[in-house]
A = this chain, B = another copy of it.
């Protein structure tokens, strides 16, 4: 049994991780932490867990938690997450970090987008990006995995094969993404107050969202070309799901069928990526670790559409998939939809 401790257990990604891990035959959740809610039962915080798990939330005391865990899922905010990751790595634990602390290629880019403070700057750029479809082998042997951002997953999966094969102009890409509100986390704020965002649709962070450099850098890492996307996230009045509509200029004339074929070949055998002919909807993949994606060619330009559940393939499901890679379990364990 892999003993898993979950840091920052009161948020939505931690909640989904708990539910997934409760189904995992080779995992036991042995600790859940939160600074603010320590002392409460985890089921008092997430009522849906009533009768399903009997754990009390603890403060994250590293020796205590380390003594009863093999693997840490850190659902803490950036900065705080790396700080804890360092401590648990030092204690010999493996870590899947849900934050952005280790996702980027270089510390300079991190600092430009996230601020100067990074408690573990030296590791930045050396940590594997936890998208098994692209980086499976390195994940298997890693002690620390940078779990991908939700938007980046939805953008990278459709774009990676086309960029790698030199089919699209890496500076022509527009990623227009739409996310459910759970992506904003569990802390109440006016923007995510029900009567503000219900029955409303809006863009936010236009040109300033931190997932823009992540998309660029991971695509660069994978395809060895300089990528510069225009990324626009939007808030959609629904709980969960991301749909990304992606526009790119091909480097040579491409038929729709060829684009679909290239995507199909790239993801043949992948259990969680389905290249479909129809136009997918976020509901088709809700509550699953699946990515549905398709392609169209419109007036010579390529339009890619991908759907994921932002909390599953975009966060907790990806983490469990990484866990499976790290421990040699079949990748679909606990993730069969």
Contact = CB atoms under 8 A, between A and B. Distances in A.
Contacts of A19: 337
Contact of A201 (B12, B188, B281): B281
A65 B197 CA distance: 33
B203 A279 contact: yes
Given A174-B247, A194-B193, A230 B298 contact: yes
Given A176-B245, A178-B178, A337-B52, A188 B188 contact: yes
A283 B50 CA distance: 13
Given A188-B188, A195-B186, A201 B337 contact: no
Interface residues of A, number: 72
Contact of A281 (B202, B296, B297): B202
B234 A245 contact: yes
B206 A303 contact: yes
B238 A50 contact: no
B206 A296 contact: yes
Interface string A301-314: 10101000000000
Given A48-B283, A176-B176, A301-B230, A188 B199 contact: no
A241 interface: yes
Contacts of A178: 178, 201, 234, 236
Given A207-B296, A282-B200, A282-B201, A190 B188 contact: yes
A181 interface: yes
Interface string A55-77: 00000000000000000000000
Interface string A153-189: 0000000000000000000001010101110101011
A188 B189 contact: yes
Interface in A73-130: none
Contact of A238 (B181, B201, B281): B201
Contacts of A234: 178, 243, 245
Contact of A190 (B181, B186, B245, B286): B186
A299 B230 contact: yes
A200 B337 CA distance: 18
A5 interface: no
A290 B305 CA distance: 31
Nearest to A198: B239
A50 B337 contact: no
A239 B199 contact: yes
Closest 6 CB pairs of A and B: A207-B298, A200-B283, A202-B281, A188-B188, A181-B194, A182-B195
Given A184-B195, A200-B284, 20 more contacts: A19-B337, A22-B336, A48-B283, A52-B337, A174-B176, A178-B236, A180-B201, A188-B189, A199-B283, A200-B238, A202-B243, A202-B282, A204-B279, A207-B296, A207-B298, A232-B245, A234-B243, A234-B245, A236-B237, A247-B247
8 contacts: A48-B285, A178-B178, A194-B194, A201-B236, A202-B279, A206-B296, A207-B299, A236-B237
